[in-house]
Chain A
Amino acid sequence: MPDTLTPGGTASATPSAAPTRTRASRLRDFWSDFGRSPVALVSLAVIAVLAFVSFGAPWVTPQDPYDMANLDWMDAFLRPGTVGSGGYTHWLGTDNAGRDMLSAIFYGLRTSFVIGLSAGALALMVGITVGLTAAYFGGRTEALLMRIVDLQLSMPAILLALVLVAMLGQGVAQIILALVVAQYAYFARTTHGTATVERGKDYIEAARSTPLPTWRVLLRHLLPNVLPPLIVVATVQVAAAIALEATLSFLGVGLPLTEPSLGSLISNGFKYIHTDRTWLSIYPGLFLMVTVVAINLVGDRVRHVLDPRNQR
């Protein structure tokens, strides 16, 4: 790591301290560092299991809860653990339409992952483009782009997403678009911040003095050195996107009821909050919470490992 900050606060430039470390060994170091936190390892395992059951939902669940032909009104409001007319146990009970809650949750979780990951990836790309453009070209371009980004950052993402979804209408693609517009600014800010520091360094100056095209300098020389902090932002933003989608769907402006979504499931369960049918809202919420917290804990650990102050 060039330019580390020692705890005392004085910047000590360590001129290319360890240029011999290969990419593979750095990755190994990262993993051994990451693995020293049991919480982070457990979180990673939890995410892996949840991703497996949700993307494999059609194969691991007893029914497709969003196919009306599979639903039987006689099965409505079965308590968790009851055996329904399908002959299998409803471990988390059924809802008012006789839908197996566990299956519905896995399908909803799949939507969460799809939305979180696509929104995160797209926002990352847009953010990098905006941030790099601003940092590399400077001047008026930089001033304009970063002012827009700053203004957007001062507004809470939930509000922006709410308004955009209201304008775009309901649906998975619309939600993803709204989340990208609401979240790219975080990536742009981070990219711009790191890139402005890197831009002033000698290796960029050297690359620019060669006849390499601008895009090559940007992508092959500047971008790799900007990426590490972006990984942290990305994990946090994927978790935020999942929580935002659930919130929007809960408020009734997110996904239509025909689409599986944890937010809609909770919103449906919320109607029965004054009865003893609490399984309708508790379980989808628990899955949502575990997913979001696990992703955040992994992000926290990655931040800790990548922080130059914690490097040996």
Chain B
Amino acid sequence: MLGYLIRRLAQAAVVVLAMSVIVFVGVYAIGNPIDVLIDPGATQEIREKLIAQYGLDQPLWRQYFTFIANVAQGDMGTSMVYNIPVVDLVFSRLPATLELVFVSVCIATLIGIPAGLYAGYRPNGVAAKLIMALSVLGFSVPTFWIGMLLIMAFAVNLGILPSGGRGDVGSFLGINTSLATLDGWSHVILPAINLSLFKMGLLIRLTRAGMVEAMRTDYVRFARAQGLTEREIVFSHVLRNISIPIVTVFGLELGSTLAFAVVTESVFTWPGVGKLIIDSILQLDRPVMVTYLVLVVILFVLINLTVDLIYARLDPRVRLKGGS
């Protein structure tokens, strides 16, 4: 197991390093940030001074090594637009994204699993058909358009919820979050619903598939023969058996929820990291782009690694053939 662990860690490190090169080269192929940064009327002297200050006159490989050397010291560079260290910038935006993702995952779970259980319990009923049709809508209708409709309905027409932005931030157990205030909740609820729809559709389908399969099995028949109520069968036998694949897929999907937040955050002008990356792409803020992308790569490599390790722990065959 230890050998396998070391091998996988080394692989992960190689992947992160390789991706950092790709990201760096790719991002640096986009436009000239100097043109965006200074006004066109600036003198040639100021231009050259700025170019030298950002090290843009250096060859690409040297820029990359400067970047890596700085990263090794915990310095990811300074945002060209906000003029503050990128690390501070990203971490100041992170709480907003995390709370949005948290609320949306809660909504998806609380609605998706019961709906999926019901649809799987009576797969031929009208309600089940309706639930399945909605789940198809949930992950085929583009997120941004649904978000827009939500704003139109609840913010513009009904006028009961704000159309964007993050609400008042309160303090709860020493954590500063907008979930501690009523105003914060009124801001987070629409984007959270928007972000949860895709996940909800996925959960409904997963739960329903597991439920349909499980209801045909012998243990359910035996449980019925034993005289257990349907409620006991579903909640203490079936749900426990089908929860493992659901949890696995759902865990894997957490990362993609963070990424999907890019779209939702733009629609609802939610000040999280997703909005930050879109803004930085539009404004050619290279250091922010590179940092965000490298962080995302690290996040996904970690998720992959965790899944592989858990599987290796559960299934010795994986661990033995892992080297090939």
A, B co-complexed: yes
Which residues of A are found within 8 Å of B247, using beta-carbon distances? none
Answer yes or no: B303 CB below 8 A from chain A CBs.
yes
Q: Which residue from chain B places its CB closest to the CB of A286 in the assembled complex? A: B145
Answer yes or no: A214 CB below 8 A from chain B CBs.
no
- A293 touching B142 in the complex, CB below 8 Å, given contacts A163-B293, A167-B26: no
Answer yes or no: A140 CB below 8 A from chain B CBs.
yes
Among the 9-residue stretches B114-122, B258-266, B311-319, the one with 4 or more Cβ atoms under 8 Å from chain A is B258-266
A163 to B259, CA, bound (A): 12
Are A247 and B142 in contact (CB-based, < 8 A)?
Answer: yes
Answer yes or no: B216 CB below 8 A from chain A CBs.
yes
Q: Which residue from chain A places its CB closest to the CB of B149 in the assembled complex? A: A285
Are B144 and A250 in contact (CB-based, < 8 A)?
Answer: yes
A246 to B267, CA, bound (A): 14
Answer yes or no: A292 CB below 8 A from chain B CBs.
yes
Answer yes or no: B304 CB below 8 A from chain A CBs.
yes
A243 to B140, CA, bound (A): 8
A250 to B148, CA, bound (A): 11
A136 to B152, CA, bound (A): 53
Are A166 and B262 in contact (CB-based, < 8 A)?
Answer: no
Answer yes or no: A210 CB below 8 A from chain B CBs.
no
Q: Interface residue count for A (Cβ, 8 Å)?
A: 41
Answer yes or no: B143 CB below 8 A from chain A CBs.
yes
Are A158 and B30 in contact (CB-based, < 8 A)?
Answer: no
Q: Which residue from chain B places its CB closest to the CB of A293 in the assembled complex? A: B140
Answer yes or no: B15 CB below 8 A from chain A CBs.
yes
Which residues of B are found within 8 Å of A164, using beta-carbon distances? 26
Are A289 and B141 in contact (CB-based, < 8 A)?
Answer: yes
User: 16 additional contacts, CB 8 Å, given A7-B216, A282-B152, A285-B145?
Assistant: A139-B324, A151-B15, A156-B260, A158-B259, A158-B262, A159-B256, A159-B259, A159-B296, A163-B26, A164-B26, A247-B144, A250-B144, A266-B148, A289-B141, A292-B140, A293-B136
Using a CB–CB distance below 8 Å, which chain A residues touch chain B? 7, 139-140, 143, 147, 150-151, 154-156, 158-159, 162-164, 166-167, 169, 239, 243, 246-247, 250-253, 266, 270, 273-274, 278, 281-282, 285, 288-289, 292-293, 296-297, 300
Using a CB–CB distance below 8 Å, which chain B residues touch chain A? 11, 15, 23, 26-27, 29-30, 136-137, 140-145, 148-149, 151-152, 156, 163, 216, 252, 255-256, 259-260, 262-263, 266-267, 277-278, 281-282, 289, 293, 296, 300-301, 303-304, 324
Selected A-B contacts with CB under 8 Å, 13 pairs: A139-B324, A143-B324, A158-B262, A159-B256, A163-B293, A167-B29, A239-B140, A243-B142, A247-B144, A253-B282, A270-B148, A296-B136, A300-B136
